[in-house]
Amino acid sequence: MEKMAIYPGSFDPFTSGHLDIVQRAVKIFPRLVVAVAVNVRKLPTFTVEERVAMLEETLSGMDRVEIDSFSGLLVDYARHKGAHVIVRGLRALSDFENEFQMAHMNRRLHPELETIFMMTSQEHFYVSSQTVKEVAFFNGDVSGVVPPAVLKRLNSRRQGGDGQ
Ligand code: PNS
């Protein structure tokens, strides 16, 4: 049976740090589902449809990568997909506590589901969706830290004057 892993996230928007994790995870797992969460706890800047579209444009050449979205609990989505591995990226120590809590809660809810952490490459350590949006909003240059499909949308929001 081919091991499928899920890489879940808000991806609001997808950054070069996320891309780094996808490129490395796909070398380990024969199938990788990049799953956009319809996250009820966060008010997103981009709609799920926009986030999925940016992912599709960015990851279009990767045939072992599937793009999807889910709502509700991640463990239920993993069951539905038949996946037993969750991939998460870790940047600094500040990510750790939240990730630790999520991994343990998910394991409690679904004991067969394993969470694997990958260290973000050094050059992406400081990149987060939040900082990217803030810099872009104030007309800063984010061209090196987001894929072109994301840059395009960030720029169009900025020019349209309705960016958040
Ligand atoms: O990119 P993010 O915002 O760090 O991703 C967090 C995400 C979407 C993976 C997490 O919030 C999640 O799994 N949400 C789905 C709802 C869920 O299962 N919550 C319980 C987690 S213990």
pLDDT digits (tens, 9 = 90+) for 23-59: 999 999 999 999 999 977 778 999 999 999 999 999 9
156 in catalytic set: no
Residues sharing a CB contact under 8 Å with residue 145, sequence separation 6 or more, in sequence order: 15, 16, 17, 124, 127, 132
User: Rounded to an integer, what distance in angstroms lies between the CA atom of residue 78 and that of residue 82?
Assistant: 6
**42 in active site:** yes
CB of 106 shorter than 6 A to ligand 1? yes
Is any ligand 1 atom within 6 A of the Cβ of residue 87? no
Among the listed residues 3, 42, 80, 104, the single catalytic one is 42
Return d(Cα 130, Cα 91) in angstroms, integer. 14
Q: Mean pLDDT for the chain?
A: 92
76 CB near ligand 1 (under 6 Å): no
Per the annotation, the verdict on 107 as an active-site residue is no
* Number of residues in the chain: 164
Strands (E), the chain: 4-9, 31-37, 65-70, 85-90, 114-119
Residue pLDDT, tens place only, 96-155: 999 999 999 999 999 999 999 999 998 888 899 999 999 998 999 999 999 999 999 998
Ligand 1, atom 19, lies closest to the CA of 73
